[in-house]
Chain A
């Protein structure tokens, strides 16, 4: 067995035989020609044929993946007719007196190289598009048909890279998964795989020469791993995961669109937690009522500088738009402790969990905080956005935040930038905040309990230290009392309260939370329907 790790472009698990898709490798020979006119005529004909094929692909893609995703084939048609591309081909033919196939391949390489070298992920991914059209043109010059991509039995398609046209030509009932050596999670293949609901891995370091169609493999789109010639054990684990997924799908079908109401009619909202824009798809497929926690840290981590206002604005706007009017609660930067970003130079600390983190950074460096608030406010006009602040311990902090928020709003107004007056909430994740939740409730629109930190701070137990496990009790009365206290104080002030930590998804506590009058539970997308079921099973 061999196990390789790629990047997951779409989750899900598949077990089956692989089909290695090798590019039709015609060695494109460079031949001297006598008549450039003749070569140009051949190109015209091949181009016409290519345009027809692309139109057919477009029509097919509209049906399979919708108009928005089909436009790529319109773009291919336009690229094929691009002046510069055609001029370069003609130029090569005329100056080098070479055959059309060679000239097209050369021009295709040049242009795809140009895109590949751009410092923009989107444009980089366009290199594949250029290759796709030039290969199509070459195929038509040679009079060859498209690769036969109709398999007789369902297979895991393994390829160096898949062009959009190859992806869409496949009969999706015959595809178990996609695994490519190249390609990014931004590529059309990845997008189409998501639309088609097929597990997909990209950037997987496979050696295609060693693989043969018919070999067995397991693809795990959750971990990004692919196992070639898997052991019985791995196969059984995969089957289990596939079975689980199937059960989830069935649960989904029965619970989708249903309300989160107990038998006696008590209602609770169930939202989902996300860590990046790419998770929104899971939020929607799992039928969550909104996003209860958007961890904005992912925008700040794994890079060398602060994300710009535009970058953040785009991420928030996209999320709000995709959620189409459903609530999206963005938590402002919660960095520090176990989540580090070197460029912020936060420094080493004796007690990072009790240290310089989250709102403490934002209030000490308002220039960073303001950029985020501007981006959130600007995105607010595209949907139903709320904001919440982490690690609050005092009334003074909330007042200071309000001051900064007012400044940001005044600046936006002055610059003529539209924004909405959004709901502002705070996290209840310190014992201090819970204890003074009566005062805090007067100042904000809602509370959201972060149970992981609240538990750690209440019990004075470091969750990373396994030696402390025997002392740890996730259901400790002290924590539950704090949550109850915050809930009562929120309701007294006419505000609402949610839970966004791990406890929210603890099905043994669902009853307790409903009884406390918790208004909203925010859980990982995969838990939404399970919590819904637990709520509906309550009396």
Chain B
């Protein structure tokens, strides 16, 4: 299991569109990718659940990656956060 912390820079937070693109990205991997904010978690593949976390600009989330391809998934998802959020 690998994880990283990330502070959201997008001014709208994790809003609808990036949550949707994130879901698509997360589905590329076999690993389970979980986003946690203030004790609440959602799987990255689930758009509405991720939106429901209500992650705002400036919030810090923990992203956990667990599964067979976790090395790849970790790199891919981390890059996605850095480039899009």
Contact = CB atoms under 8 A, between A and B. Distances in A.
Interface of A: 71-72, 74-75, 78-79, 82-85, 111, 114-115, 118-120, 122-123, 126, 129-130, 310, 314, 317-318
Contacts of B19: 78
B40 interface: no
Contact of A83 (B45, B51, B56): B45
Contacts of A310: 57-58
A82 B23 contact: yes
Contacts, number: 55
Given A123-B51, A314-B11, A318-B11, A75 B20 contact: yes
Contacts of A318: 11
Contacts of B17: 71, 74-75
A122 B57 contact: no
Given A115-B52, A123-B54, A126-B51, A82 B46 contact: yes
Interface size class of B (residues with CB under 8 A): 20 to 34
Contacts of A85: 48
Contact of B46 (A84, A115, A314): A84
Contacts of A78: 16, 19-20, 23-24, 47
A65 to B, nearest CB: 15
A318 B11 CA distance: 9
B1 interface: no
Interface string B2-33: 00000000011101110110011000000000
Contacts of B24: 78
A317 to B, nearest CB: 7
Interface string B48-75: 1101101011100000000000000000
A119 B56 CA distance: 11
Contacts of A118: 52, 54
B37 to A, nearest CB: 13
A51 B46 CA distance: 18
B48 A84 contact: yes
12 contacts: A71-B17, A75-B17, A79-B48, A83-B43, A84-B48, A114-B48, A115-B51, A120-B13, A126-B16, A130-B48, A314-B11, A318-B11
Contacts of B47: 78-79, 82
B56 A120 contact: yes
Given A71-B17, A83-B43, A317-B11, 9 more contacts: A78-B20, A78-B47, A79-B48, A82-B23, A82-B47, A115-B52, A118-B52, A122-B15, A123-B52
Contact of B54 (A79, A82, A83, A120): A120
Nearest to A72: B16
B8 to A, nearest CB: 10
B16 to A, nearest CB: 4
Residue from the set B20, B23, B51 with the largest chain A CB neighbour count within 10 Å: B51
B52 A122 contact: no
Given A78-B20, A82-B47, A111-B48, A314 B57 contact: yes
Contacts of B48: 79, 82, 84-85, 111, 114, 130
Residue from the set A82, A111, A119, A317 with the largest chain B CB neighbour count within 10 Å: A82
B21 to A, nearest CB: 8
Contacts of A130: 48
A123 B12 CA distance: 10
Contacts of B57: 310, 314
B30 to A, nearest CB: 15
Nearest to B49: A84
A122 B23 contact: no
4 nearest A-B residue pairs (beta carbon): A78-B20, A75-B16, A310-B58, A82-B47
Contacts of A84: 46, 48-49
A79 B52 contact: no
A92 to B, nearest CB: 16
Nearest to A117: B52
